[in-house]
Amino acid sequence: MAAIIAQLDASSTFYRCTYDVFLSYRGEDTRKGFTDHLYRALEQAGFHTFRDDDEIKRGANIAAEIQRAVQESRVSIIVFSKNYASSTWCLDELVKIMERRKADDGLMVMLVFYDVDPSHVRKLTGSFANSFSGPEDHFKEDIDKVEGWRRALRDVEDLGGMVLGDR
């Protein structure tokens, strides 16, 4: 976590945004552990951090709020975990993050591979392959959406990241 905070401190030339950091993570995998610790460390270091369970008001349009938060953040930290790709919410967040990165509008993207091999994410193998075994059956009307998820996962290949295990 210290390495993440050090990178954020070094990137003080960003434009003004609503959030310093947007956290993208699979709650069932990391919420009660790593992500909670990371969130607290970021907040204690003075970084206003968007985390869905804290920032979205009851009754709000969740998808719209998440899209807005991604757009209004200067840094996105993606915590890849075993079940990340089994969540359409996470995959939609990832697509939006990678679209912003490609637009080159100043978004910094940081990756954390939590208890998952980075090559599984990039090559869509392991638990990431399982998430894509047959999603077309569930999204027959929107194959483009599934392909967008796959493309976004492959696009992280040129980004470095931290590899952390469940400790």
Of 55, 79, 73, the closest CA to residue 8 belongs to 73
H/E segment holding residue 25: strand 19-25
CB 49 within 8 A of CB 24: no
Residue with tokens 């993050």: 97
The dihedral built from the CA positions of residue 65, 70, 76 and 77, taken in this order, carries a sign that is: positive
Cβ neighbors of 153 (< 8 A, separation 6 or more) are 85, 91, 94, 121, 122, 124, 128
Q: CA of 135: how far to CAs of 62, 80, 105, 139, 156, in Å?
A: 22, 19, 31, 6, 21
List phi, psi (to 5°) of 122. -70, -30
- Residue positions annotated with a catalytic role: 93
